[in-house]
Structure 1
Amino acid sequence: MRFFQLLACLLLTLRLTAQEAPPLRLVACEGKAQGTYYIVKYLSADTTSLQPRIDSLFEVIDKSLSLYRPGSLINIFNATGSVQMDEHMKAVVEKAVLTSKATRGIFDITVKPLVYLWGFGVTKPSFKGIPPQDSIRKALSYVGYRYLKINGNRLTAIKKHTEIDCNGIAQGYTVDVLGKFLEQQGIRNYLVDVGGELCAKGMNQQHKTWRIGIERPAPGDTAYEPIQGLVQLPDKGIATSGNYRRFFDQGRTRFAHTIDPVTGMALHNHIISVTVIARDCFTADAFDNPLILMGVEKGLQFIAQHPEYDLEALYIYKAADGTISEACSNGFRKYME
């Protein structure tokens, strides 16, 4: 009898606790950072905005990795060839080197001289259009992740004039940092979006998996204008690389801001975009650029041959007849609506 009395008391306590628990409400923070927008949505009983603390995190990461910020750690390295890294720079550089090894140099943060040469950097070259071949060859001589030496927290360039540009991976890292910050506040349901690179955890306010829009040109269209497609994002990260944001056209060829560190050429293949889903946004962002440079066939083959990275990808590309087509890895469609 005493057991049943205790059980009844326990059930009553649990019922009262559930009744007293405040409801979770949707809180949204929006702003501008890292040259783009950010949107952070989360469910919390405490509706006090976390935006000031979120902005502070962006500030800390910019002091480490922003090429636009005078005195940032990355600018110190590029000016002197050596720097004592903080935790943010070290995490990004180490991940970048691992990705370079995995892709055999198709991803390489030492691509900075080429990015600037093609006119996609902080400063612009004196000419417009395709750079001279001798300039490309000269810039290529400074490019190579093997020219970076990591010794503890110290990053050193072992070849003079080697510089780094982490823009191809830093936003994905930032997204995950913001996600971890939210979890440290006891938040278990959230969506973080920094310039189109996203991560999601838990459920939205409708108690469903977070759904996001991706830029997805309609199949059969002959234009480059993207429309929205919906993707479910269950505790994953997603990143997109495309040729429809930063580019220039010369003749009938479009040259995009993604630079091949092996050939020194700006992206000018038939790929319009690749959207990558991975276990976290950091990983998705690290692989979206190399996958777009690989192209559809080699990119999908890379994903199939490297299950350890847990990647799925959707390619949008221009077919031989000029229409827009799609191709994706085996597991990507399960996220699509």
Structure 2
Amino acid sequence: MKKILSRLSVFLLILLIANVCRVSAATADTARVQLISCEGKAQGTYYIVKYLSADTASLQSRIDSLFKVIDHSLSLYQPHSLINQFNETGKVNMDEHMQRVVEKALFANKATAGLFDITVKPLVYLWGFGVTKPSFKGIPPADSIKATMPYIGSRYLRVKGNTLFALKKGVQIDCNGIAQGYTVDVIGRFLDAAGIRDYLVDVGGELCARGYNVQHKRWSVGVERPSPGDTTYEPVQGIVRLAAEGIATSGNYRRFFDQGKTRFAHTINPLTGEALHNNIISVTVLAKDCFTADAFDNPLILMGVTEGLQWLEKHPEYGLEALYIYRAKDGTIQEAYTKQFGLRLLNN
């Protein structure tokens, strides 16, 4: 579940060196609480968990254990994970984590008319973004894409009880496009169960928050974005305050390769077999939880600015707000967003 960040990602201004848990004294209202920050590396990226508590006992080891459990379920880098068992045999008895992720993936697949599809694994590997690399570099041959497309489609997946079946031999899944957002919410639920009401969870730039920080203000996260019309990519800092919700970002700067004047990113269109190569730099999505935001950021970047904003307007039932950063036809960097995202976005 590896995602590589860049400066356009939603981020927290904290330098990560090793898995640590820090405690700082702070006063919120009349109750003395501690600001506790647990940091580490997991899922090929960093994580930061910040929360307020009067109990200073570290939750570091329990948080790390959660990552290990989820990796055993969904990591393509773990040889004996449940997802790898399915990809090898076409059948697996899922644990609760895999069940929830597959269920959400099938929901997002239907909601986006197939633009989100976890059966893209063969295409991800064909384009060179998988655990193993193809024998060639760059754009895969057209006949290879054509030969792979018959194995792509959630219609080839069936769930019966806790068992996932592939209805066609050769169908494989990759949950990287959704599992990180799911992990964020799992950690959030763990904190809820521990009686913690004020926290911010960040896993590789995908975040969720509840309650307030030590200043008794909503948790604030930075969104780096170029100013409209700027061609230098120098960022202007914006702030979004999270109120019991999640935020996720998808962009063409995480994993990519350039061929000629075209950038091909790791987001794959399951309907065409093509890697992302439109004018979108990034899309940042706000939702009721990070799981939902992460499920829809990839489809929205594939739709593009105009279609994506129209789709969001037509589907208020999903509770999504989005910010697009894109390159206009004249080469300038522009941004567009839903009305509510615009109201939430504060300049620093």
What's the offset of the Cα at 1:235? Answer: 1.0
User: What does 1:1-337 align with in structure 2 at a 5 Å threshold?
Assistant: 23-224=32-233, 228-337=237-346
Q: How many residues align?
A: 317
Counterparts of 1:42 and 1:176, CA distance in 2: 14
Question: Deviation of residue 22 (structure 1)?
Answer: 5.1
**TM-score between the two structures when normalised by the length of structure 2:** 0.89
**Residue 211 of structure 1: SS of its match in structure 2?**
strand
2:258 is paired with a residue whose SS is: strand
Tell me, in whole angstroms, the C-alpha distance in 1 between the residues paired with 2:126 and 2:246: 31
Once the two structures are superposed, what CA deviation does each residue of 1:303-323 show, in whole Å capped at 9, x if it has no partner?
Answer: 111111000000000001101
Q: Secondary structure of 1:83's match?
A: strand
Deviation at residue 234 of structure 1 after TM alignment: 1.1
In the TM superposition, what is the alpha-carbon distance from 1:218 to its structure 2 partner? 2.5
Query: 1:224·1:272 contact (CA, 8 Å) conserved in 2?
Result: no
Q: Secondary structure of the equivalent of 2:226?
A: coil
| Inter-partner Cα distance in structure 2 for 1:235 and 1:211 | 12
* Letter matched to residue 257 of structure 2: F
Deviations 1:201-249 (CA, angstroms, capped at 9, x unpaired): 0001110011001232222222456554211111110000000121100
Amino acid at match of 1:55: D
Point out 4+ residue stretches in structure 1 off by more than 6 angstroms.
none
Consecutive unaligned residues of structure 1, counting only runs of 5 or more, are 1-20
Distance in structure 2 (CA, Å) of the matches to 1:70 and 1:225: 41
Instruction: Answer whether contact 1:114 1:136 (CA < 8 A) is retained.
Output: yes
Structure ranking higher on relative contact order (CA contacts 8 Å, 6+ apart) = 2
| Structure 2 residue matching 1:188: 3-state secondary structure | coil
Q: Measure, in 2, the Cα distance between the counterparts of 1:199 and 1:254.
A: 30
For 1:23 and 1:287, the matched residues in 2 are separated by 39
Match of 1:169, SS state, is helix
**Mapped contact 1:83–1:154 kept (Cα < 8 A):** yes
Q: What letter is aligned with 2:42?
A: A
Deviation at 1:49, TM superposition (A): 1.2
| Uncovered stretches (5+) of structure 2, i.e. residues with no partner | 1-29
Identity %: 72
Give the Cα–Cα distance (whole angstroms) in 2 for the partners of residues 237 and 225 of structure 1: 26
Letter in 2 for 1:172: G
Decide which moves more: 250-259 or 207-216: 207-216
Change (3 A) 1:120 1:224: farther
Alignment RMSD (CA, Å) = 1.1
Q: Partners of 2:233 and 2:102 in 1: how far apart?
A: 33
- For residues 11-39 of structure 1, the C-alpha deviation after alignment (integer angstroms, 9 at most, x for no partner) is xxxxxxxxxx8511100000000000000
Correspondence for 1:13: none
Larger radius of gyration: 1
Task: Provide the C-alpha distance between the structure 1 equivalents of 2:275 and 2:179, rounded to a whole number of angstroms.
Answer: 20
Distance 1:304 1:211 in 2: 26
Change (3 A) 1:228 1:140: farther
Higher relative helix content: 1
Q: Distance in 1 between matches of 2:236 and 2:256?
A: 19
Q: Which has the higher strand share?
A: 2
